[in-house]
Amino acid sequence: MILLLTLGCALDEHLPQVDISGTVVVPRAAATRTYTDPLTGEATEIVDVRNIGPVVIGAYPAIRDDLFAYPHPEMGPVIDQGIPGNAYPYGGGTVGRFDFACFEHLACRVSTGRFKDYDDVLDWFGNVIDDPVKDEFGFEVESSDFYRDYCYDLFEVTADYEISWVSGADGLDFVVNDDGDFEAQYNLWQVTYFEGMQLWGFVDSPSERFNFTTCDDTRGQQNSEYVNDYFYGTGRFDLLNFPANYISDGDFVVGMDDVVTLSQVDADAYREAAETPMIRIGFEVGAEEEAK
Amino acid sequence: MLVLLMTLTGCDRDGREYVPEPNAKFPGIKTLGELNVMGNDLDDDGTPDEYSSVTEGTLFDTLGPPPLGEFGGATGTFVGNGNVICVIVDPEAVFWNQSVAASGTDKVTYWPENVADDGDADIEVGLSAYYTGSPGVEMGSFEQVYEDSLGNEITVEYNECVMADRYGFTGSHSGRSTIEFCEIDTALHPDREYTVVVNTWSLPLDDDLLSYGLTLVDLGPGAVNDDCAKFIDDRSFKGNRECFITNEANDEEFAAFEEVFCLEVQSWWCDCTFEPGPDNDACFKLEDKKDWTIDYGAGTATTKEGTVLSLDHPSQCGDYDPNAFKTDEDLEQEEEEATL
């Protein structure tokens, strides 16, 4: 009986879905931004992992360079005016996701895997973005201890590890590689495998005021405590299906030369090969136009 | 042995007797031809002219049961003119949820509704080129298959009609006897033919015939979301959407009852006609609070608006259990009083 039960553990269901893991590389330029001091007018170039917005990666039937001004997955039929066709992805995931950093002021502006701790956030918005973090009364949040207490109280937690966006010094998604670019591990869970499918993705770079197009600040959990009335914000649900809706100048996408094609004949063969595809997201949207 | 025999007798049943037979007079699948599209210049002042305008522009029809194992419904067409077209269907009859509160029962809904006379119809609208059915022969859909470059087939929905439920949530259904509507923007495909599909969702249990009203309204160019709902609300009695298309059951008794329903006194009316008389509290309330005049001798009631109604108990009222809201103690007390 025990032998029979044990045999069950070896059952291979030959599922058509696979988990795809590997390394994603974004160029140093994606982590580099020039910020201007509003008082002195002095421009400073800052290279920082906090400049890298959420990275969206998907598996698609094909990538084409004739649909938009940048490589983009092939699309199904255009049905509604002004809305691109559905890219019909086979699956995908992100490196970093939007997480609510306790104050309305920060809704849709903080991703997981980008900030080490509370000081890291206060420093970034106060000293770099020049938009200090404010509480619901409009008062600047200056103390990381107050910040932590506020978060613990809001989420009813008792430790930093319960707050997803607090990554810790060793928990950031991206690290600098030997080329000076930034790389991170990615996981795309349960992607339906088709021979010849291609991996493609994009980095949502922040705007001047450090906002992101891939986040929807009208959705997510609602805070209606006392006089509060706002949403925590959440990643848009159709990023993989309609990426062109959210890609704009300054974002980075996978270039045609860097598209990864999975050539294993089926899901079993892919699992057997244990591949770890490397994805490079090096094509800057709008850069060619700017150069012209 | 006996058990075996009893088991075998079950084998000659296939449940067919529970499915209504097709009706030669009322086909279950039919074509409505080219549909009339009303203008949007109707009054919205609540006058009888306004309601008769809607009635004149509405197509009234009755669907019977479809052949066994097939979907039923009707299809019609219109040609897109570049404007936004509002498509509205109202299946018979009226529906309300009975209030079952133990005390303080709602005056509008304390009487049960007759669910056996209720039908349900849904609508789909899209370019005729995408419709897979054969009008009048077989119902279809607006689903087409898209094949990506790796040969993977994906079903794409070309139905452009997004219905909402009674709370306004899209992608839902309003439910039995309640109107369904949606907006179709023909700006992308002017001069192209669209197909309107009325799908038989459920037939009324009492006669297996689904009567409905179908109205198409041209909202003009550039109409936006909710314009269709606003158009209906502005032209419905008391903003009750059931009262936009009237007498969809094509029946005199229903027409009279629907007016009572639109006046939101259906429970008093069901109660009063159940046991008509000056002692009936519901009859008293109709006279006292709604200014109705009831002639028990003649068996008629006249509404404040002047409509004369028969005191015959309408079939739209459900079966009422007068003891439904009484506790065991109440019933015991009544029994004791009766004994004394």
CA A168 – CA A117 distance, rounded (Å)? 6
pLDDT of residue A59: 98
The C-alpha of B252 sits at a distance from chain A's nearest C-alpha, in angstroms, of: 44
A194 touches chain B (CB under 8 A): yes
Cis (ω within 30 of 0) for the bond into B129? Answer: no
C-alpha distances in angstroms, A144 versus A118, A120, A135, A168?
5, 9, 13, 14
B155 touches chain A (CB under 8 A): no
The C-alpha of B154 sits at a distance from chain A's nearest C-alpha, in angstroms, of: 8
Taking only the tens place, the pLDDT of each residue in A117-148 is 999 999 999 989 989 999 999 999 999 999 99
Q: How confident is the model at residue B160 (pLDDT cuts 50, 70, 90)?
A: very high
The C-alpha of B194 sits at a distance from chain A's nearest C-alpha, in angstroms, of: 15
Q: What are phi and psi of B43, to 5 degrees?
A: -65, 155
pLDDT of residue B56: 84
**Interchain CB distance below 8 Å, A62 and B156:** no
pLDDT of residue B166: 75
Taking only the tens place, the pLDDT of each residue in A29-77 is 999 988 887 778 888 899 999 999 999 999 999 999 999 999 999 999 9
Instruction: Tell me the two tokens of residue A59.
Output: 């598996």
Flag whether pLDDT at B1 surpasses 80. no
A82 touches chain B (CB under 8 A): no
What are the chain A neighbours of B156 within 8 Å (beta carbons)?
76-77, 79, 86
A77 touches chain B (CB under 8 A): yes
Average pLDDT over residues A14-19: 96
How big is chain B, counted in residues?
Answer: 340
Flag whether pLDDT at B108 surpasses 70. yes
Taking only the tens place, the pLDDT of each residue in A144-201 is 999 999 999 999 999 999 999 999 988 999 999 999 999 999 999 999 999 999 999 9
**Interchain CB distance below 8 Å, A61 and B187:** no
b/e per residue B70-89 (b: at least 16 CB within 10 A): ebbbbbbbbebeebbbbbbb
pLDDT of residue B183: 92
What are the chain A neighbours of B127 within 8 Å (beta carbons)?
none
Whether residue A162 lies inside any domain: the answer is no
pLDDT of residue B238: 78
Flag whether pLDDT at B42 surpasses 70. no
pLDDT of residue A208: 85
A261 touches chain B (CB under 8 A): no
pLDDT of residue B320: 79
ipTM for the predicted complex? 0.83
Whether residue A163 lies inside any domain: the answer is no
Q: Which residues numbered 244-283 in B keep a CB inside 8 Å of some CB on A?
A: none
DSSP E strand boundaries for B135-190: 143-147, 153-157, 180-185
Flag whether pLDDT at B49 surpasses 60. no
B6 touches chain A (CB under 8 A): no
Question: pTM for the whole thing?
Answer: 0.78
**Interchain CB distance below 8 Å, B149 and A79:** no
Q: How confident is the model at residue B122 (pLDDT cuts 50, 70, 90)?
A: very high
What are the chain B neighbours of A81 within 8 Å (beta carbons)?
187-188
Count other Cβ atoms within 10 Å, centred on residue A2: 6
Of the listed ranges A1-5, A112-116, B78-82, B169-173, the one predicted with least confidence = A1-5
The amino acid that residue B326 corresponds to is K
Whether residue A202 lies inside any domain: the answer is yes
Whether residue A118 lies inside any domain: the answer is no
pLDDT of residue B265: 92
**Interchain CB distance below 8 Å, A61 and B152:** yes
CA A24 – CA A20 distance, rounded (Å)? 12
Interface probe with A: pick from B147, B150, B154, B159, most Cβ of A within 10 Å: B150
Whether residue A111 lies inside any domain: the answer is no
Instruction: Tell me the two tokens of residue B92.
Output: 């018979």
Of the listed ranges A34-48, A57-71, A209-223, B265-279, the one predicted with least confidence = A34-48
Taking only the tens place, the pLDDT of each residue in A229-259 is 999 999 999 999 999 999 999 999 999 999 9
SS3 letters across B194-263: EEEEEEEEECCCCCCCEEEEEEEEECCCCCCCCHHHHHHHHCCHHHCHHHCCCCCCCCHHHHHHHHHHHC
pLDDT of residue B126: 95
CA A276 – CA A22 distance, rounded (Å)? 4
What are the chain B neighbours of A79 within 8 Å (beta carbons)?
156, 158
DSSP letter at A110?
Answer: -
What are the chain B neighbours of A64 within 8 Å (beta carbons)?
none
Taking only the tens place, the pLDDT of each residue in A261-277 is 999 999 999 999 999 99
Whether residue A30 lies inside any domain: the answer is yes
Average pLDDT over residues B129-152: 95
The rounded Cα A72 to chain-centroid distance in angstroms is 17
CA B294 – CA B282 distance, rounded (Å)? 12
pLDDT of residue A290: 63
Please enumerate in sequence order all residues whose Cβ is within 8 A of that of A133, keeping only pairs 6 or more positions apart, or say none.
A103, A105, A106, A121, A122, A125, A126, A140, A141, A147
pLDDT of residue B325: 63
CA B112 – CA B100 distance, rounded (Å)? 9
Whether residue A287 lies inside any domain: the answer is yes
Interface probe with B: pick from A78, A88, A198, A265, most Cβ of B within 10 Å: A88
The C-alpha of A289 sits at a distance from chain B's nearest C-alpha, in angstroms, of: 30
Domain range enclosing A239: 14-96+176-291
**Interchain CB distance below 8 Å, B150 and A76:** no
Nearest of B77, B108, B74 to residue B91 by alpha carbon: B74
Instruction: Tell me the two tokens of residue A246.
Output: 């959210």
pLDDT of residue B172: 82
B149 to chain A: closest CA residue: A61
H helical segments located in chain B: 2-9, 48-57, 227-234, 252-262, 266-274, 281-290, 328-339
Q: Between these two residues, B312 and B42, which has the higher pLDDT value?
A: B312
pLDDT of residue A285: 96
A16 touches chain B (CB under 8 A): no
Whether residue A9 lies inside any domain: the answer is no
Share of residues in chain B with pLDDT > 70 (%):
92
Please enumerate in sequence order all residues whose Cβ is within 8 A of that of B304, keeping only pairs 6 or more positions apart, or say none.
B290, B291, B292
Q: What is the count of structural domains for chain A?
A: 1
**Angle made by CA atoms A280, A169, A55, in degrees to the nearest 5:** 25
